[in-house]
Amino acid sequence: MNIRNIAIIAHVDHGKTTLVDKILHHTNVFRANQETGELIMDNNDLEKERGITILSKNVSVEYKGVKINVIDTPGHADFGGEVERVLKMADGVILLVDAFEGPMPQTRFVLQKALQLKLKPIVVINKVDKANCRPDEVHDAVFELFFNLDATEEQLNFPTYYGSGKNGWFNDSVTQCEDITPLLDGILKHVPEPQIPEGNLQLQITSLDYSTFLGRIAVGRVARGSIKENQPISLVQTDGSIKKSRVRELYVFEALGKKKVTEVEAGDICAVVGLEDFNIGDTIADFDAPEALPVISVDEPTMNMLFSINNSPFFGKDGKFVTSRHLRDRLIKETEKNLALRVVDTDSADSFLVYGRGILHLGVLIETMRREGFELTVGQPQVILKTVDGKKSEPYETLVVDVPQEFASKVIDLVTRRKGEMLIMETKGDMQHLEFEIPSRGLIGLRTQMLTNTAGEAVMAHRFNDYKPWKGPIPGRNNGVLIAKEAGTTTGYSLDKLQDRGFFFVDPGEDVYKGMIIGENNKPGDLVVNPNEGKKLTNMRASGSDAATSIAPKTLMTLEECMEYIQQDECIEVTPNHIRMRKTYLDEEDRKRFAKSMKADGVA
């Protein structure tokens, strides 16, 4: 049977998962009366809530007697590690581009990886039904991008399709047609069949799956030879060591599920059951004469955070997993399938340094652990510094912001204050398109401020660029915080009296502890307050003096917003039911001693 392996890559929100939906519906994967909903591939709870793809997934459809393996990939730069490894399974890529926004930073990042792997590209310009779209300009911009990324002559001669994923049509011109048949025909025509070299079995594990019945499952594409059920094999690990093992069961992808088979030929993607102690990047090879495939290389992480056990007074109230052993085992388990993540032990047995690609990458890990029942404390995200040519260097990113023209000056001011330099400023329709080069440190906390200053209109995206010399200190949060003086339950009476001091992250009736951050101060500098004071009741009453207190509702902050908000001497307590910010040292005297020692280190 003919096979085509294709990955769909695009910037976040350009419509990858919607396109996969349309392919599934068009190839009659579902019964006519079956309820499927939208964004079928985003089946993880976090993906549904956030409307983004976090994990890459495989799906297989049959069209005109040809099996098409489709790989849906994440669009956020933070999950680039997912994309880099799954592209190894593909022979071609569909590059999906928004007809208004055009190529964005993440488009460039993933396309570069695909072109380096010599994959055949098909360009799809989506959302041509939107007002103010500009498909011809976007096509020219895509061509320019290919040229800048040193695409080969053959890759530059890419076919282009236009359409609307939402309305379910794609054509080789801007003229609307019935459905997505022209695009599927284009996949069969332009994507090459897998090229199979001579030789015995080679299969590189590029993805992991897990089943409560079968345990860990290795997923990858058979590069050469064939793999059979019950076959003895050699597992060549990334460090060069070889383990002997046996294939217990074999599955191929069919529609949204898997089908059990006895043999898989080279070129197809399969799932292997029965192997133990394998990792992504290992090669399943011939039993007698094993040959390893090149190790998958993933870009280095650019940010780290300190993960510790929860040592607050509310420790153990919510979570099931609270010890350092639980925390360590879970983090090590995550590194097996999350290639861009690193975990390093620290001097303390209760703390671990976790390295990742960005705030969203680490935030999704923390949120997943929280839902699994873990309690932990995380510190302020820090960028990873290196010494390049004898100079202290830090990671820089390319930041792209699309914003209405009246807010452009505010955006430029915000970014330049954080040591960003403007590279491009141009008008796209009624939006201003701005591109900056900015240290990664400057991006921490920027999104919240930018959305506030542009009335929520700014669309920003960024990707890692390179390590460059250190730019000097960047101003952090302007205002101090309000800190609870003692443990207790907050009262409306007390919060009402403190309202002129700032705004709150707690409502009346919530439990707080000494050293917990309960609000933001209106001025620089931290302020210790007592939110638990009750009203002294007497028998005397005066008309009007007991009018109901009117307290502004608390400010709700997401986990990522908290990660961007906290400073060096603060941390976040994460439990299954609560996300609280607190000072690292809960006692005021300890905080003063810590501040003094920091000052002394700075002088030294």
Alpha-carbon span 85 to 87, nearest angstrom: 6
Q: Output DSSP code: residue 37.
A: -
Task: Give the angle 460-466-471 at the CA atoms, nearest 5°.
Answer: 85
Alpha-carbon span 584 to 591, nearest angstrom: 8
13 assigned binding-site residue: yes
The two structure tokens encoding residue 533:
């004071």
479 assigned binding-site residue: no
14 assigned binding-site residue: yes
471 assigned binding-site residue: no
Q: Output DSSP code: residue 430.
A: T
Alpha-carbon span 257 to 240, nearest angstrom: 33
Q: Dihedral sign for Cα 57, 58, 59, 64, please.
A: positive
DSSP readout, 514-570?
TTBEEEEESSSS-EEE-TTPPPPP-S---TTTTPPP--PPPPP--HHHHHHH--TTE
The closest of 368, 432, 382 to 405, measured between CA atoms, is: 432
The two structure tokens encoding residue 96:
């999906």
- Residue written as token pair 């030789």: 199
15 assigned binding-site residue: yes
189 assigned binding-site residue: no
The two structure tokens encoding residue 575:
């439990």
18 assigned binding-site residue: yes
Alpha-carbon span 495 to 502, nearest angstrom: 10
Do 86 and 71 contact (CB within 8 A), yes or no?
yes
126 assigned binding-site residue: yes
Alpha-carbon span 442 to 401, nearest angstrom: 14
282 assigned binding-site residue: no
> What are the binding residues for GTP?
13-18, 126-129
> What are the binding residues?
13-18, 126-129
